[in-house]
Every structure is written in structure tokens, then in C-alpha cells.
Structure 1
Amino acid sequence: MTGRSGRGVFGKLFAKKQHNRDERATEIGMPTNVKQHIHVSMNSETGMLEGLPASWLRQLNAQISPAEQSENPNAAIQAVTFHNFHVLKKEQAEREPCKPIVTEEAITKEGLEMTKFLAKKNAHQSQDSDISIGQSSEEEVAPVEKYSQRQTMPIQSNKNNIKKKDPTVDLSAVIQDLTLIGSEPDESPILRKKELMYSTLTDEEIYEELKRICNKDDPYVRFQRVKHLGAGASGVVFIAIDSKDNSRVAIKDIDLTKQSKKELILNEINVLKGFNHKNLVNFLDAFLSADHLWVVMELLDGGSLTDVVTEVVMKEGQIAAVCRETLQAIAFLHSKGTIHRDIKSDNVLLGMDGTVKVTDFGFCANIVGDEKRETMVGTPFWMAPEVVTRKQYGKKVDVWSLGIMAIEMIEGQPPYMKETPLRALYLIAAVGRPKIPRWESLSPAFQDFLDKCLQVDADARATAEELLSHPFLDCAMELKTLTPLIKAAHKILHKSYD
């Protein structure tokens, strides 16, 4: 990420690299409101979509019924496009040392990337183009569970549902939603191409800057490894004891020789230094030893909220307490211009004293090391409808995800958890707000809180700041009441962070 917060830190390095800036011709990017017309037809006999890449059609026909494709063709095309684009993005992200911090600018860029992806997958080209969508053999050829009879009926239907009227489906409107495109003739913004801020830094300069911003102590001397938590393409994660104060911390050990985008690490460290909050899993320090960067984070010994919600029934007051603490973290991130975009129980960590902290941004990604529920698309079950349909969206996606996480705490899992990721995406786009089975058992204050979180229209949805003063949070129990739940879940799951 090349956010503004890193500019001052590297000013001297960049100043000497930009002296020829005015000598270069200004480059102009492509217009951003180009429409991609994809001719997709509806087979009048089978009721299924045709004209998409063959692999996409196999996915749709295995997981979304003919009746559903006919009822909501827009939702079907949006779901399969989003699914395949994010399979590709997830494969790329797994090779990176840190999860880029998300801003509205980054979201706009992603929308344009999806435009290009969709254009290259246009069915008027070869059936399967040169883009690898990273489809697993299991989902491509294995007998996927056919469209399940278990469907969650809407409390509030998506207003954009389109009924089948004609065997030919014009998806230009869908493509517009997917690419954040304006439809008026006078809306023709042209993006100016910009050089990457750190593109001219050599490896030597990057190492020098890392030496400057990292702690000078020898991490191999200062920290004693206690327990291995996990490993990935970006490095290994383990628990260690800091000899300076005997505190237990989580450390991500990154082998810089395996990182192609070392310059991004610099910016992430400097951004996270300013992201200190009582409800975030905080970055503590960074150490450099030869080619290894040790990123030190807070350790929460209670594990993830997922363990609690899947094993123990929570009281409304305990749910309110978790929602309040999570909202404080979300509101802080939003005040910094950052969108989390992956709020869920897996990314809410607990201390044994009931402390609640949000993780999985920047170097915090996968700091627990053993995320329980892997999905191909990066957990679609918590996604807001506007994310899936690619309408212009922003900070309120985190509020929707908080509402879905509240459903987790009520029901033990989010809506559509038993569905495949593609089918879950379709249901989010087609249905909108999911049904809450135990709705009638909830207090009026909790019902109103969920109403304000789960508005399909993002404009009608509350902000994190507004929800912090919602009456439901007045019933929040003390955080220490979460401790027995954590202990019970750990006993059932045979877990220990000692």
C-alpha cells in the first residue's frame, strides 16, 4: 500500500529520485466509464445462463439452480465474477508478507482491476481465456452439493432483484455495478497514471531504511521461542517471551529474500505504528537480523471469538459487550480512513480477562496461525451486499459484517455457512438481509441494533460512531464475564496458548 502516512518518513530517499519528473511526458490512463457489454443469454428450456466462460458455467450450474438463475440473473453473474476474481486475488495475497491496509482509494483500484478481469474473461473471446482463476479441482470437477433445499428466506429483499422477462439478459447494468462506472455521457473521468511511490528504491536502500526504523536489539537474544503457531509463504508465526519484561508476544518472522515487494513492508510498519488502540491487536516493534524481519505483535491468550461462538451460548449482555469493543476498534480505523473489510469472529481475539481486540490487518493477518475456517474467497459469509454486487461502497461494510458477527454470537455460525462460497455470494446478492432464526427471542433493543446494522441500503445503515451510542450497548456485561466462556471453549477444543 502506498498511503500518505509513509511520505514524510521516506522523503529524503524519494527526493533524489524524482529530479527528472518534469522531463517526462504525462501519461494518461484509460477512461474509467467504458462499458463492457457481455451477451449472456438465458436458455428458455433449462432456465440456465449461457455465454459465460465454460468453467464459470460449470460452477453456476452445479451450485445455483435453474430457477434461481432465472429469478436473479444479475445476482448469479455478480457472484461468479466476484468469486473468481477473488480466488485469483487470494492466491496473490498469500504470497505477500502483510495484508495491505484498505482505503476507499484501494477499493476503487480493485474495482478497476475487476473490470479488466471481466473483460479478459468475456465469453466472446475464447471460452477459457489466458487468465488463471485458480480454480481448485475439487470445485471444478467434484460433485458439488447441488443447490440445497435449505434456503434462508429474506426479511427484506434486495430491491434490485430482476425477474425473468426475456430469454436474452442484458448485463450492461450488472457490469456497471461491478466496475463503479457512471452511466451519464458527461461522466468521463480519466485517471492519471501514477508511479509507485517506492518503485525506484533498491534493495540496499530498503534494507537501510528498515535498519533505521527497526529496534537495534538482536531478536534472537531478546526473545525466547515458546510455541510455533503456523507458517505460510510470508513466514512463520510463533509465541515468544520478551526477556526485557517477561511478557508473552506473537512474532511473525519474515524471510526478506523471499519477498518481491519489500518496499510495501516499510509503509505498513510506519502506518501500524500510528494504529495504537485498546481494541486493536497492536504492533509492538520490529527487529531486523540479516535477511529476517521480526514483527512483534500483542498476544491474546484467549484465542479467537470463533471458539466461543461455536461452542458456548452467549447472553445478550455478553454479545453487547463484544459488539461495543469491536465497534470501538472499527470507529477508530474509520477515523484513520481505513476500512477493515473482514470483520468476523475469527478476527476478534480475546484475552483470558475478557479483553476484546480486532486483528487481521497489516502484519496482524494470520497472527493466530490456525484460522479455523478457510474459504476460497476470503470469507464471503460476512460480506455486505454492496461488496458482492460491486456497487460503490465504503466504511459501512464493516457495520454490516458486525451485524453478521452478532448473528454468529446468537446462532453459533453466520448465515449460509453450510453453503459453498459461490452459492453464499449468490444468496447475499439475491436475498440481501438474511433471516435470523431466533429473531423473536431477542430483546427489542437488540432487534433494533441488528436492524441498523443490516440495512441492505448502505445509506440507511448506521455508522460505527452512531452505533456506539445505541441503547443495546447499555446492557453490556463486564468483560470478565467472558472468561468462563473462553475456558469452557478451550476445554472442549483441547486448546491452550501456554
Structure 2
Amino acid sequence: MTTVFKKGYLYVKEDGIRLWLWPKRWTLLREATITFHRNENTYQANMVIFLKDVIGISRCDVRQYCIEIKTKDKDYYVSCKGDEELYSWLDAIYERSPMIMDVSSPTDFQHKVHVGFDQLSGMFTGLPEQWAKLLQQSAITKDDYTKNPQAVIDVLDFYTKNNEQSQGASMYNPSASMSKTAALVPKNPVTAIKKASRSWGTDDLTRSTNGYPLAPTTSSPHMPKRASPRLPELPQRMSVLFDHDQPKVLQNAAAPHNLYSQMSPAGMVQMHKATAPPPPPPPPVAQPMPDKAKSDALAALTGKMNNMQVQAKPSPKEQRLSTMTEAQVMNKLRSIVSPKDPKVLYQKIKKVGQGASGSVYVARSLSTGKKVAIKQMDLSTQPRKELLVTEINVMKESQHINIVNYIESFLIHSMELWVVMEYMEGGALTDVIDNNNISERQIATICFEVTKGLQHLHSQSIIHRDIKSDNILMSIEGQVKITDFGFCAKLSESHSKRSTMVGTPYWMAPEVVKQKAYGPKVDIWSLGIMAIEMVENEPPYLDEEPLKALYLIATNGTPTLKKPEVLSPELKSFLAECLCVDVSSRANATDLLHHEFLTKAGSLTELSSLLRFRYK
């Protein structure tokens, strides 16, 4: 008897059988077959699917938690009990279906798909149709193919996975559509570019004037929005390529730097008590940046060297981290929220946003009189509820003067989650950049405050993974704070590096795009890109189509400044420290706090003038 890799009860239906006939069957997945039995004690199978005949597998909307298995002769539908079980079966069947694996692969693409590059014709051979269409729609040129064909393949692989990840759920993300008719590319790419968001796969709860994710009811004339090209959608059947679960860690990564190796237990932070500013850090003990690495980064920033090209290595296949059922997740969520009734603790002042997954309100604490922000979410639209648990736990542990602080949360009738956060009336740094010319002294002040916040997160073994101006909020008094922990990752001593792909592409470090293991220094790279954003009003490559932008990040490494001659040597040195391609030479947060450029930081009151546009 062959090994059984997966088993359990599923509801099954053959194509052509009446829709309401969904018999419950004991299902066994072996190396070459899926067999369906009347019950677990019945040896004789009622139905057999040979995996060698499976040509497609995807989630479908025929029934809730339903998988469609396509074979050469007919289609089959199996219904599961929940998302976790659905994706577990999807992955298991996918991995053992040879005809699917010959078409595409969730990881290590170039080893499972026989893609080649013909130097004579300058074209790829064996490229899957989906990738060929994406490449045709992109701005990557034949010259780019010739210069670095491996980088093109890496970017296509990375882009495919991130597109699937962006359709998964985050704390403020509604259920992803599972329509089988999703377009591969926009019918009108020019229109798509004009209508696009800066973010990778943003929810319809877009950011408000106060920086919190929501859909603004009106547009403000003093807040021009920068647009980045939209990521073309991929066929939903490719959802089998993405692991719809918590971010994973590499099992055999090297031990972390001593700054990140200490874990802080949850619950050690007072939730309702503002944290005092940390004392000045001791002089950095890390080795200084090697001269060549620093000079290479400076030369790249000023456009005085050729593009650096590094070949990416395929990531090892990842294993699912979370195995919690929805009931277990809900029990965990109940254990970390307040049992009190929020309606007697807070008075809503006004709704400032509405989206498919919930609403955002400005409210007032009835005990203190202070304003707070309340994110009110409908849990029925949150298929990945385990991310809510992760985010709340991280926010509880991350109380700091430079982090938008979590206050408390409430679960109402197991259907609605209220998360109460510190209110930052100044809004997002993005709007400040769009409405001001920011001086170097002000840039130094903002970077100094953000770096202090990053040092705190990294000391807690937390990587933010989505540092950008949208996720930096300001108060009217000029306070600067990090927000949005939907993408954060917690490191452990044995799991000191990660290889998942999250964040926003234009701020991503090269090691993330190349799908290498990475650590806290990805936040430092993003900080450097954000500093360029304050100098040039946008991050590098924002005008590029996303695939081309990813290609440039992977091949160019350190971006080139538009006008390096107008910047001070201290600022250029700071950018070189942040944007060093060699991760071991890139500065950490403690190093940066002692950098000469950050010593130019002024007082927070000097930043309040940047918010005058709010009152025009």
C-alpha cells in the first residue's frame, strides 16, 4: 500500500452532477491518486482521480471553501470546512500533480520550469504563457533580457508571488475575489497607470488624511496624490502558488546580530502608559562599513559607477507556519482583547472612512477626554484572522514614543473587532512631502525619529518590513511615529532571517526582490529610500511600470540620485550607509543614530510648520 500523504472528510461533486448533490467522502491523497471512500472504514473507492491527469487546480466560488480540480476529461469540485483546510489540500494536491508542476512552480521556478535564453535571438524559450504576457505588457526591454536574463526570471517569479500575496488578507483587507475570469493584464495599461496606487495590492480602505487605512469620503484639494503603476492581476488559479499563511522563516539561518537576538516576552509593556524616550544609545560596537562597500554605494548614488548586478539564488521551499483552525484563532483573539463594552468607554465623534472590511472613526475617551482612532472591522470579511492576533500582539509589545501606540481592543459578539489606537491628527508623511519642500535639517529630524523607532522594534526582534512615508504619521506638535504593523515579522534566535516577500515594491531592498533570506536591515534600506522620497518628492523608479521597477532594484542595487550635487556630503553619506547593497556592510539602527547627518536633527517643533497646509 502506498503512503497516504493527506486524509480527511471532504464534500465532493463531479462536473455534470446536479449542484445540490455533494456527498461527504473520506478522501485519501497518495503519490499518484486521490481516492474518495464512503467512510474511513471502507476500502473500496467510490471515485479515483489520477494526479497525472490533473491539468489545473484552483479555489473557486461554486461553494464556500471550494476547490476545482481540472483533469483532461472532466472537472471535480471538493468542499472543505475552512480556509486553512482548503489551502492545505490545495498545496498537497498541487505538489503531486506532475502536469501542473511542469507549467509553473511556487518556488525555485527556474529549476522546475525549463526556461532558457537564446543569445542569438535575444528571447526566452519555454516561458509559460502567463509570464510571457506579463513580460510583453511590461516595460522590460530586449536589451534588459540580454544584459541580465536571470534577473528577468527572478523578477517574474517574485512578482507572481507578491501579486498572489497582495490578494490575501491583511488586518484591513477584505476577502480577495476568487473570480476565475480575472484579467491577466489591464486592457488599457495607460489608464491603469493613471488610476494606480502607490502601494502593492492596497485595500479599498485607502489611507485617510490622518494616515489611517480608510476610504476618504472626499478628496482634499491641498493633497495631491502620487500615482504608481498598478500591478496587473494574475489568473486566480495561480493562488495555489502562494502560501496563504503567516510569513515563514528559514530553518538554518545564521545566528542574528546580538542587537536582535534577545526576545522580549509579550505582556511586559504597560499598554496604557506612554513610554519615556530611551536614553542615548552607547557608541556602536559594530564594525565600520568597509571602504569599498561604502564607496560603491556613494558612487552609485551619484551616478559614477556601472550598475551592480548580483545573481539571485532560488529560495528553499517554505513550510506552513500556522496550523490553527478558525475556532482556535477566535479563542486566541478573545484572550487578548478587553472583555469590556467599548460603547461605554468611548464616544465616536465622526467617521473618517469606510471600506469593505470596516470603518475608521475619530472618538473621544470618556475617562480622559483624549481623542483616539478606532478601527472597527467586520470579522466576516477577514479570512486570515490569525494576522489580527499577530498584529495586536506586536503592537502590545511595541510601545514607544516613536511608534503609534496601541491602546486596547474589543470583540463584540464575536463578529466585530474594535482596535483603539493613538490618534495622530497631523496625518501621513506622504502628505507632508507632497505639500512642502523639506529642508535637510527637517529630513534629518524625521529620519532621527524614525530610526529611534526602528532601533526599538529591532531590539524587540521585530522587523517592520513596510517602512515608507505612508506608514509614518505626524502629530500637530511635530511628533513622528511609525504605524501599520500588518506586514511585521517577529524573529527568534533560531529564525534570524526571513525569505518571504512583503512590503511595497518601490521601497524594497534588493535582497527581498531576489528572494534571499533577510533580517532587520531591510528596514534600514527602506528608510534610505524614504529619505530620497523626502529629497525628490518620490521614491526611485516610481514612474516605472512595476516589473521594470523590480528589475531595476534587482540589477542596479543602490539607486542614482537625480541631483546629487545639491545634497550635502553628510546626507549622501547617510544614504550610502542605508542603501549599501552588501547587507553585512549596511548600517544598523544603532549605527545610524550616531551618524553625522542625524546630529543635524532639530527639535520636533520645527516640524510643525510642515503641517500648515492642513489649515489652508
* Deviations, residues 212-239 of structure 1 (Å, cap 9, x unaligned): 5433432223222223233445422222
Q: Of 415, 420, 426, which aligns to 1:296?
A: 420
* Deviations, residues 399-439 of structure 1 (Å, cap 9, x unaligned): 11111100011111111111111111011111111111221
Structure 1 or 2: larger helix share?
1
Following the alignment from structure 2 to structure 1, what is the Cα–Cα distance between the partners of residues 594 and 474?
23
Q: How much does 1:250 deviate?
A: 1.2
Q: Of 368, 377, 389, which aligns to 1:245?
A: 368
Indicate whether 1:225 and 2:312 are aligned: no
Q: How much does 1:39 deviate?
A: 2.6
- Counterpart of 1:73? 149
Indicate whether 1:42 and 2:117 are aligned: yes
Following the alignment from structure 2 to structure 1, what is the Cα–Cα distance between the partners of residues 109 and 127?
20
Indicate whether 1:325 and 2:400 are aligned: no
* Deviations, residues 38-61 of structure 1 (Å, cap 9, x unaligned): 332334565232322222222223
Give the letter aligned to residue 413 of structure 1: E
Following the alignment from structure 2 to structure 1, what is the Cα–Cα distance between the partners of residues 354 and 487?
14
Q: What SS does structure 1 have at the residue aligned with 2:374?
A: strand
Following the alignment from structure 2 to structure 1, what is the Cα–Cα distance between the partners of residues 184 and 157?
16
- Counterpart of 1:355? 479
CA RMSD, Structure 1 to Structure 2 (Å)? 3.5
Indicate whether 1:138 and 2:181 are aligned: no
Would the alpha carbon gap of residues 464 and 346 (structure 1) be closer, same or farther in structure 2, given more than 3 Å must change? Answer: same
For 1:138-177, list aligned pairs within 5 A. Answer: 138=186, 155-157=304-306, 159-160=308-309, 174=312, 177=313
- TM-score where L is the length of structure 1: 0.70
Would the alpha carbon gap of residues 400 and 270 (structure 1) be closer, same or farther in structure 2, given more than 3 Å must change? Answer: closer
Give the letter aligned to residue 70 of structure 1: T
Q: What SS does structure 2 have at the residue aligned with 1:456?
A: coil
Give the letter aligned to residue 59 of structure 1: L
Q: What SS does structure 1 have at the residue aligned with 2:425?
A: coil
Indicate whether 1:409 and 2:534 are aligned: yes
Q: Of 99, 112, 130, which aligns to 1:55?
A: 130
- Counterpart of 2:435? 311
Following the alignment from structure 1 to structure 2, what is the Cα–Cα distance between the partners of residues 485 and 81?
41
* Deviations, residues 282-335 of structure 1 (Å, cap 9, x unaligned): 111012221222111111001110111122111111000000111111111111
Q: What SS does structure 1 have at the residue aligned with 2:462?
A: coil
- Counterpart of 1:276? 399
Indicate whether 1:86 and 2:162 are aligned: yes
User: Which structure's relative contact order is higher, taking Cα pairs within 8 Å and 6+ residues apart?
Assistant: 1
Q: What SS does structure 2 have at the residue aligned with 1:410?
A: helix
Structure 1 or 2: larger strand share?
2
Would the alpha carbon gap of residues 91 and 144 (structure 1) be closer, same or farther in structure 2, given more than 3 Å must change? Answer: closer
Would the alpha carbon gap of residues 154 and 428 (structure 1) be closer, same or farther in structure 2, given more than 3 Å must change? Answer: farther
Following the alignment from structure 2 to structure 1, what is the Cα–Cα distance between the partners of residues 565 and 108?
46
Would the alpha carbon gap of residues 307 and 336 (structure 1) be closer, same or farther in structure 2, given more than 3 Å must change? Answer: same
- Counterpart of 2:558? 433
Following the alignment from structure 1 to structure 2, what is the Cα–Cα distance between the partners of residues 415 and 383?
11
CA contact (8 A) 2:373 2:420 kept: yes
Following the alignment from structure 1 to structure 2, what is the Cα–Cα distance between the partners of residues 459 and 319?
25
Q: Of 314, 322, 325, which aligns to 1:178?
A: 314
Q: How much does 1:448 deviate?
A: 1.0
Q: How much does 1:453 deviate?
A: 0.7
Q: What SS does structure 2 have at the residue aligned with 1:286?
A: strand
Q: What SS does structure 2 have at the residue aligned with 1:93?
A: coil
Q: How much does 1:281 deviate?
A: 0.9
Q: Of 447, 455, 459, which aligns to 1:335?
A: 459
Indicate whether 1:458 and 2:534 are aligned: no
Q: How much does 1:349 deviate?
A: 0.5
Would the alpha carbon gap of residues 487 and 178 (structure 1) be closer, same or farther in structure 2, given more than 3 Å must change? Answer: farther
Following the alignment from structure 1 to structure 2, what is the Cα–Cα distance between the partners of residues 179 and 385?
14
Indicate whether 1:215 and 2:338 are aligned: yes
Following the alignment from structure 1 to structure 2, what is the Cα–Cα distance between the partners of residues 315 and 38?
50
Would the alpha carbon gap of residues 195 and 466 (structure 1) be closer, same or farther in structure 2, given more than 3 Å must change? Answer: closer
- Counterpart of 2:3? none
Greater mean deviation of Cα atoms: 136-145 or 382-391: 136-145
Would the alpha carbon gap of residues 52 and 231 (structure 1) be closer, same or farther in structure 2, given more than 3 Å must change? Answer: farther
Following the alignment from structure 1 to structure 2, what is the Cα–Cα distance between the partners of residues 456 and 235?
40
Would the alpha carbon gap of residues 315 and 264 (structure 1) be closer, same or farther in structure 2, given more than 3 Å must change? Answer: closer
- Counterpart of 1:285? 408
Following the alignment from structure 1 to structure 2, what is the Cα–Cα distance between the partners of residues 301 and 141?
36
Q: What fraction of aligned residue pairs are identical, expressed as a percent? A: 41
Give the letter aligned to residue 71 of structure 1: K
Q: Give the paired residue count.
A: 389
Q: How much does 1:443 deviate?
A: 1.4
* Unaligned segments of structure 1, at least 5 residues: 1-28, 100-129, 162-172, 182-190, 365-375, 493-498
Would the alpha carbon gap of residues 82 and 264 (structure 1) be closer, same or farther in structure 2, given more than 3 Å must change? Answer: closer
Greater mean deviation of Cα atoms: 254-263 or 313-322: 254-263
CA contact (8 A) 1:301 1:350 kept: yes
* Unaligned segments of structure 2, at least 5 residues: 1-94, 97-106, 194-228, 230-300, 489-500
Greater mean deviation of Cα atoms: 271-280 or 296-305: 271-280
Q: How much does 1:475 deviate?
A: 0.8
Q: What SS does structure 2 have at the residue aligned with 1:67?
A: helix
Q: What SS does structure 2 have at the residue aligned with 1:423?
A: helix
Following the alignment from structure 2 to structure 1, what is the Cα–Cα distance between the partners of residues 547 and 182?
14
Give the letter aligned to residue 126 of structure 2: G
CA contact (8 A) 1:278 1:357 kept: yes
